Chain A
């Protein structure tokens, strides 16, 4: 009973809306990037064979079925709805409704041809579903501008639990994929050649990566690092728990706080996704994954970071601009 009360109390927490607004903007941008990326291949991939597509699409996903089955008009209508709702989400116009519209349009378009999709489709739909419940328009939105005359609002509080669920979803992705990496090429004790061999697969590489043979130990280190990062991702939950209650924290939580595990995790994760995006063609997977990352920081931490950046940029501007004091005459 005590654990349940603490759980209810945790879900009751409220905070300033900065983090959720940042997530909204990035998830909206990821959705827009995803759909714009598909515009060039609509006819052959997302239309039925009777309308120029390469394979029969059957009845289509549930929304398409309810709207009369796959057709050119419906597909383009869904794409238009997807684009419009993504833009509205970025701008912060009715974000909950727009997240729902974007989610349903995305599922309908992505599931038209189930053989031509990737995990990124599901990652995006999970993000959009959580945004349906998030109050993300209190700051950094058009609504905020209209309501307060400013782009930011540091006073209105919003529920924190959608941020916790975004964090949980990110960790679930890493842990699930990490624990399923049972190939001997991934596991410590094997040859740690997984990344080397994956990058040599023509299906996913952006260009010929044979040169990796000369830096094989580097790829081995990256393989081990990736496996450890994914399998031990749940440690982040313990680290975050430790941050929230340092007094009662046990030795593991104290250690994770001392080494700033959250920041190390985020640094490794961001680097990993940027590298994947640079060398592999796996669609917008990295872009969507990175849209979850702002959830790792409390709004107060974002405010501190903004202050530090603001002060640094003001200092930089002051030193680079000419002095306001007139030069003293020589002599």
Chain B
């Protein structure tokens, strides 16, 4: 057992589709130290990791879904105490989930409708790198974005706690088989709309921060989308793209 081997194995376990067989095949020393660490917190942390979640996403979501990545973890705690969670068979003193409740089983449970996107699943996405997953392309008021919005099928709306370009790349890679053109992040510091737009083409990502009038135009477009979602989303993308080109941030349109 060495630090390096334990960290390598930990990483593999955190990202494995089914970690338990992998753990079983590990050397005894590594296995014991990692088994001891695989408490409830480990499983929850693993579940909400973006790689894991995006892997699930590919299987369970339609291409027209809106991705929302926020920073709220509040409801995770609420979920822990919920009846849904209590029904997962957790036992006092045991790790969670128990050995039969693999991530694969978790995914199947989600697919079967056992958990709705408004529950724990959504909070997982909200949590880390974020990714959340409403199954409908419209939000109501009260979301962290502050209003309703609609995007077109194939356009991914992303709000991330951190707007590092790396996240956009990760999203892009993870969703490589999906249409992915535009990521938008909306904030309201001092009640003034501020938007960060990330655009991806091939493996490059450009990011620009829109403020003031430009941001207001986009926010208005977001808020007006309930009637004609496709038109509004297309218009939104065009406006953002044109603005980026006008401001010299983008030389090539990506859509």
Query: Do the two shown chains form a genuine complex with each other?
Result: no
Chain B interface (Cβ within 8 Å of chain A)? none
Chain A interface (Cβ within 8 Å of chain B)? none
